[in-house]
Amino acid sequence: MPSGVKLLVFQRSFDPRSLSCSNVSKRIRIPRKQELDLPSDVLEQILSLLSSKDRARASLVSRKWRDIAYSVKRIHRPPKFVYFDFNGNIGICDLASCRSSSIPHPNRPGGNVCYAKDGWMLFHESDTGAMTFYNPHSANRIELPKIDLKFCKAAFSAPPTSTNCVVFLLHSCNTEACVNAVTWCPGDTAWTLSKYEYDHPSISSTWKIIGDYSEENPSCSSCWKSIVVRYGIFYSFNMFGDIGVFDPVRRTWGARSCKRLKSIQHMNKLRWEYFIFMAEYKGDFFLVHIRGYRPANVYKLDEVSYRWYKVKDVGGATFFSSTITSLIRDDLPHVMKNCVYFPEIVDAERHCLVYSMKLKKFYRNLEHRPYLIIRKFPDIWMDISKDPEMKERDDILKMNRKVWLSFARMHHKAFGTKLALRD
C-alpha cells in the first residue's frame, strides 16, 4: 500500500428490524404483467385464431386465459364415413356414437360417386355419361351436361349452388405424356376441354412405369390420381409423389417432379391408389403411405425444394383417408388427434380402422389379419346430416365421453390394456 494512505474501516451495526415485512414490501415491487390486462373480447379474438395445440399452451397462462380458451374451443362432431352397399343404399358409420346404419335414397342418381365436398356428392354414370350433383341431406339434385369422355378422377372447388364452383375432370392420355382438363362452371351448357402436353423426363418415365401394367389392368394406365383442392386450384399426384397443378382461372397445367420416396419402391403398382392418400391442411400437403399393417409413413411437402419430408404427426389434427377425397380436421376430441382413419369397417361395422401416429400401431388385433384390406367400393368422409351445433359445455363433454368410450373399447380389444381417461 502506498505510503501516506490510511485504510479506514467502517463497521455498521446490523438491525434485524430493517428486514421487516413492511420494509421489504415498500422496497421490492413486483411489476404487474401487462399481457394479462388484455380486454376479454380482444383476447377471445386472438385465441380463436390459434390452432388447438397453441390454444392449449395459451390456456396455461392464467385462469382468465383458460376460461376464454375453452369458450372459443372449436370442438365439432367427427365426419361420418359414408359408403354404398350392394343394394345401392347409403351406409353411414358414425364415429361419435359407434353405430352404423343404412339409409335408402330412392332419388339418388345412378352410377358411382367420384367426389364429395361440403355436403354434396358428384355422381357419374359411365353407361350414359350423366353427371349429377346430389345432396343426401336435402335430396336436391343438379344435372350437369353429359360427357362421353372417360376420365380418371374428378373434383369440384365449391358447392354447385355457389358461383365459385368449378368442376374439374382429369383425363390422362394412353399414348403420350399429356393430360386433358375438362371443366364446367354454373351456367355453362357444355364442358370445356383443354389438352396439355409436358416433356418433363421424370414425369414421362413415371408414365412409362405405370403404362407397363395397362394390359393387365387398363384402369391403372392413368398417371395422375386423387385430386386435392386448395384455394380454388386443383392438385393431383401420382404414385411417386409428383404434383400436377391446374389453375381454372388462367387455364394452365403444370407438373412438378418431387424426389422419389424410398418406401414405395416395392409397392404394388396395380393398386397403388389404395395405399397412398394426400390431403391439404392449413395450406400444406400431407401424404400417408401404408404398407400392410406395418407402421404408416406420414410425409409433408416442402414446396420450395419439392421434397416430401417424413413427419411424426399432423400437428394434432386427424387424417381421414379415402380413395376419392381425403381430409384433415383439427376440431375433434383430443383422443382422435394424431390418428389416421382408413376406409375399412371393422368390429361388426361399429368402427373404422384407425392408426395411431403416437403409438405407431393400428387399433386392431392383427393376429388373424396379416394384411390390410381397403374397400373397393366408393367411400367418402363427409357431414351427411345437419347435427345441432354444440355450444354448451355439457354437449361437448358428452361427445368427448362418447368418443373416448369408443376408443377405450378399441384400445382394449387391440392391445389388452385400458385407456386412461383425460379430461
pLDDT band per the 50, 70, 90 thresholds, residue 369: low
Q: Give the per-residue pLDDT at 4.
A: 45
- Position 198: which residue type? Y
Q: Point out the least confidently predicted range of 14-18, 207-211, 291-295, 306-310.
A: 207-211
pLDDT band per the 50, 70, 90 thresholds, residue 413: confident
Using a pLDDT cut of 90, give the percent of the chain over it. 18
Q: Point out the least confidently predicted range of 19-23, 186-190, 264-268.
A: 19-23
Condensed to tens digits (0 to 9), the pLDDT of residues 328-343 reads 998 888 888 899 998 7
Contact 417, 407 (CB under 8 A): no
Q: Give the per-residue pLDDT at 365.
A: 59
Condensed to tens digits (0 to 9), the pLDDT of residues 13-36 reads 445 555 555 444 455 555 555 555
pLDDT band per the 50, 70, 90 thresholds, residue 392: low
In this prediction, residues 373-383 reach a mean pLDDT of 70
Q: Give the per-residue pLDDT at 127.
A: 86
Instruction: Answer whether residue 5 shows pLDDT above 70.
Output: no
60 falls within a domain: yes
192 falls within a domain: no
Instruction: Answer whether residue 411 shows pLDDT above 90.
Output: no
62 falls within a domain: yes
Grid cell for residue 98: 359407434
Q: Give the per-residue pLDDT at 32.
A: 52
218: CB partners within 8 A, 6+ apart: none
Which whole-number Å values give the CA distances from 288 to 200, 214, 256, in the listed order?
Answer: 25, 25, 19
**CA separation for the pair 150, 345 (Å, rounded):** 30
pLDDT band per the 50, 70, 90 thresholds, residue 216: very low
Grid cell for residue 133: 350433383
**DSSP assigned state of 132:** E
Best mean pLDDT range from 84-93, 211-220, 234-243: 234-243
Q: Give the per-residue pLDDT at 230.
A: 93
Grid cell for residue 242: 409428383
Grid cell for residue 275: 395405399
The CA R_g of the chain, rounded to the nearest whole Å, is 29
Number of domains in the chain: 1
Contact 360, 354 (CB under 8 A): no
**CA separation for the pair 285, 231 (Å, rounded):** 13
Residue 66 domain boundaries: 38-73
Q: Give the per-residue pLDDT at 422.
A: 54
> Mean pLDDT in the chain?
76
Q: Point out the least confidently predicted range of 196-200, 300-304, 408-412.
A: 196-200
Which whole-number Å values give the CA distances from 113 to 89, 124, 134, 145, 377, in the listed order?
Answer: 13, 6, 10, 16, 9
**CA separation for the pair 326, 227 (Å, rounded):** 9
Best mean pLDDT range from 171-185, 198-212, 400-414: 400-414
Instruction: Answer whether residue 145 shows pLDDT above 90.
Output: yes
In this prediction, residues 51-66 reach a mean pLDDT of 78
Q: Give the per-residue pLDDT at 12.
A: 46
Q: Give the per-residue pLDDT at 213.
A: 39
Condensed to tens digits (0 to 9), the pLDDT of residues 268-303 reads 666 677 788 899 998 999 999 887 777 888 999 998
Q: Among candidates 176, 245, 252, which has minimal Cα distance to 207?
A: 176
CATH number at residue 68: 1.20.1280
64 falls within a domain: yes
In this prediction, residues 240-253 reach a mean pLDDT of 87
285 falls within a domain: no
In this prediction, residues 378-402 reach a mean pLDDT of 71
Grid cell for residue 55: 390454444
